[in-house]
Amino acid sequence: MKSWPLVAVPQLNKSFSFPQISLTNSKTLKKELVVKKDLYRMYVCGITPYDSTHLGHAATYLTFDLINRYLRASGSDVLYVQNITDIDDPLLERATRDNLDWEDLATSQIELFRGDMFNLRVIPPAHYIGAVEAIDLVTEAVTALQATGSIYAIEGDLFFKNYSSPDFGSISHLDKESMKEIFSQRGGNPTLAGKIDPLDCLVWMAKRENEPGWPSIHGVGRPGWHIECTAIALKYLAPIESDATCIDIQGGGSDLIFPHHEMCASQAKVLTDKDLASTYVHAAMIGLDGEKMSKSKGNLVFVSKLIDSGTDPMAIRFALMSQHYRLDRMWTDELLEAATKRVAKLRDAIASPDVAPTKPVIEKMILALSNDLDTPTALVHLDKWSLDTTSGVSGGDVKELVAALDALLGLSL
């Protein structure tokens, strides 16, 4: 599928040194140094295109954009892959509810998402792959799982035994009762008659009446959600045989830890006998004015609506970076207003004929970002630089700072 347009990223002066970045790994629950590599393989789970792009999505993709930018600025390459779940129950349910054709709904929402990502200056993935275009990959993965004895059928639907992987549960750290509860809230069906284990997940769903289906070796049907990501990640990130894990970073929102990432990892382990990722990174949730932001509450704030109403995308980006990615946090008008003011001060300072020294502030930004993407601290250093500049301190190279702001933070000012 077509990704969004390329976002030009300026080169930073090579004199800056980049410490190894540390990130919090959901699997170990620790902040860990990411091993230095020439090429990182990063997979981030994409949207289901029916409610895009709300600020929770934006915060998630921004988090991985910051990782992407840091690794690139430090001299490495990043092979970045993202999927889009363009066929799944929630999409069909929304299309039925709103009396829309599901494909039209998906197309319109994907187009919005692309525009929002471009406006927020998120570097596009090298491969942006839809579930529909990955159907052959999914059926091949299901066939490979079948060969291991980890697949069984219930009335034409195929299920994967998650406990086929000895590591099942090692990412979410949940007990079985909690897993069952969350599984049932997030699209699983633990009480379905015929299941060998309640946590077994659907990998191929036989075609239902009035729903789309695609012909395959497993009958006419459509892919399950978890196997979609497993199959796409293992194909497009081209894991290296000699590496200890299939890929380097798997990411998404924290609501994907279970069941989605746990089940993808379980499938990958059975398919490859390796852990799916070295580091599992999860961005926290965004609420609105003290409440959880959710589809069911109907209080989603959409990036496209904010931008249409005149909000500067760089202020949205700044506001989302003004708090830490691992902190469940609230979106408020005050947060956006404060970010807008801070961006304005930064722009004023950049426009000054003389600016405060720039090397030290860039070094401090790099150091803050290397520490588990500590964007709040990086932005405080920038505030201080703006204040110094408008107070008359001079000696800096404004071009160098403008390039660093874009290269590291995606702020094009």
The residues binding Zn ion (CB under 5 A) are 45, 229
Cα 289 from Cα 268, distance rounded (Å): 39
User: Smallest distance from the beta carbon of 82 to Zn ion, in angstroms?
Assistant: 9
Q: Which is nearer to Zn ion, 45 or 201 (CB)?
A: 45
- State how far the alpha carbon of 186 is from the alpha carbons of 158, 259, 302, 331, 387, in Å: 19, 8, 22, 24, 47
The neighbouring-strand residues paired with 83 are: 129
User: Smallest distance from the beta carbon of 261 to Zn ion, in angstroms?
Assistant: 7
Alpha carbon 106 to chain centroid, angstroms: 19
Instruction: Please answer whether residues 165 and 120 qualify as being in contact, where contact means their C-beta atoms are separated by less than 8 angstroms.
Output: no
Q: Which is nearer to Zn ion, 264 or 405 (CB)?
A: 264
The neighbouring-strand residues paired with 277 are: 247
For residue 386, give the H/E element and its range.
helix 375-390
Indicate the DSSP class of residue 54. Answer: B
Which spans in 221-374 are helix H?
Answer: 225-236, 262-272, 303-308, 313-321, 333-350, 359-370
DSSP helix/strand/coil, 282: strand
Q: Which is nearer to Zn ion, 134 or 362 (CB)?
A: 134
Q: Which is nearer to Zn ion, 45 or 122 (CB)?
A: 45
User: Smallest distance from the beta carbon of 303 to Zn ion, in angstroms?
Assistant: 21
User: Smallest distance from the beta carbon of 138 to Zn ion, in angstroms?
Assistant: 12
Q: Which is nearer to Zn ion, 78 or 355 (CB)?
A: 78
Strands of 39-44's sheet, edge to edge? Answer: 127-130, 77-84, 39-44, 245-253, 275-283
Q: Which is nearer to Zn ion, 201 or 229 (CB)?
A: 229
Q: Which is nearer to Zn ion, 102 or 225 (CB)?
A: 225
User: Smallest distance from the beta carbon of 275 to Zn ion, in angstroms?
Assistant: 16
- State how far the alpha carbon of 155 is from the alpha carbons of 23, 192, 194, 207, 327, in Å: 43, 11, 9, 11, 43
User: Smallest distance from the beta carbon of 198 to Zn ion, in angstroms?
Assistant: 21
Q: Which is nearer to Zn ion, 202 or 229 (CB)?
A: 229
Cα 270 from Cα 260, distance rounded (Å): 16
User: Smallest distance from the beta carbon of 66 to Zn ion, in angstroms?
Assistant: 20
Instruction: Please answer whether residues 410 and 317 qualify as being in contact, where contact means their C-beta atoms are separated by less than 8 angstroms.
Output: yes
User: Smallest distance from the beta carbon of 408 to Zn ion, in angstroms?
Assistant: 27
Instruction: Please answer whether residues 412 and 314 qualify as being in contact, where contact means their C-beta atoms are separated by less than 8 angstroms.
Output: yes
